[in-house]
Structure 1
């Protein structure tokens, strides 16, 4: 979110919360580290450039990341933090041009990414909240985050991210409860007792279970079978959807779903997504 935008809390401006790699100094390829795993074929220490990073800050293997074992790169979303830090906080001067700013730039990127992710969720919360109390709480949190982002790098780094996160988390829980309230009757008669926040549903076949209105916040849905399922009103905030089967599933009205969750899952052209999310390229190949 740029300081010149600063929309009021009722404005849906997700455009600034989407990654624009062309205006970023490859911060996701440098600031964060990773270890050899199913998601990465090599080790990379934090604060060092990836070996695949080109001189113009592009990825030299971008079109073949998955087959080369860099699956983790394909599911990462900075929520627009990369271009904000590169162009706004550091005035378009890269860490290569100014090596003395690299540590502060990388640290700022980590903080801004968290703040932008919270803004993404709050945009949806503002759309779903119906009571004046929840609308007011959502608007106030968005204004607080935007004020922080209007500062310089030192202001961002000094922000109370954990305190803001705690307040955002409670507001999202309250909005979720309100949004899922309309599904309560069907939930009582059709849902399994296993469906709850942080539930371990790894590999589970959930095709025969009515999910509408379930609270699966933070649930482990790795390789779960959700094919042809109706996920209307299902809270998926922070749920792990790696390799979850979503073919034919309707997620158009699922709560707090992000692009990175969709990118990590398996689906096809029959999967119905929220309008703000795109169909991953690997679903079509």
Structure 2
């Protein structure tokens, strides 16, 4: 397993900036999506060399958000979800190449006051989000990224930001496993839970030794069989990371003292190891780095 203290030098992508955290997903190529800086439209870019270089940024002029978008992949397609701009409903779209996206589809029965989160494991995608009129976490599943099951409220858990969710078909006991992480509601500690179907979740577990002031990011590397989590620190803005084999027992937190962010979520996606993208601290440009083998 890679040493979480060893990362490539952070690289500033000076041609792109955002008011929220960027989202990442991998489908052969890597795709990045983010909310614009001076307006709220969604922007996208792809990389075909594990994040070393990125295509020119591409504005999706017909869709906008007031929070960070979310991304995942299913059936060889990218899925994107985001909170609407003029209202709080969740919208979705899919793409085969990360640049050209299907018409946006509004999920009129569900809304949020933060960013949603997406995960996929095999042929089943999961969406998780914070409720609009209360703070409980809600979940739903889909086999295509456009048509979603009835929303299901997790009444025993709540958050002050959008939750983060990821999935794998290579769980520790074989088969599908999803992991969720979120910032607590009445305090700032991180909480975690797992699920095999995306709807029924294990009892929530508080990670008493780590806290954040924004939404965390989470992903799974099937190559390394490990979950990764990253988050903005509580008392300062540096990025912290940890890993887990089962989504519940997490390694000691590691502070990345050379990098900081104005707020989460931190974009994470597996490449040969782990790729990270985040909004800068003193300015709004997007920064990237890779975990060294």
Greater helix proportion:
1
* TM surpasses 0.5: no
Mark the structure with the bigger radius of gyration: 1
TM-score normalized by the length of structure 1: 0.29
Greater strand proportion:
2
Q: Which has the higher contact order (CA 8 A, sep 6+)?
A: 2
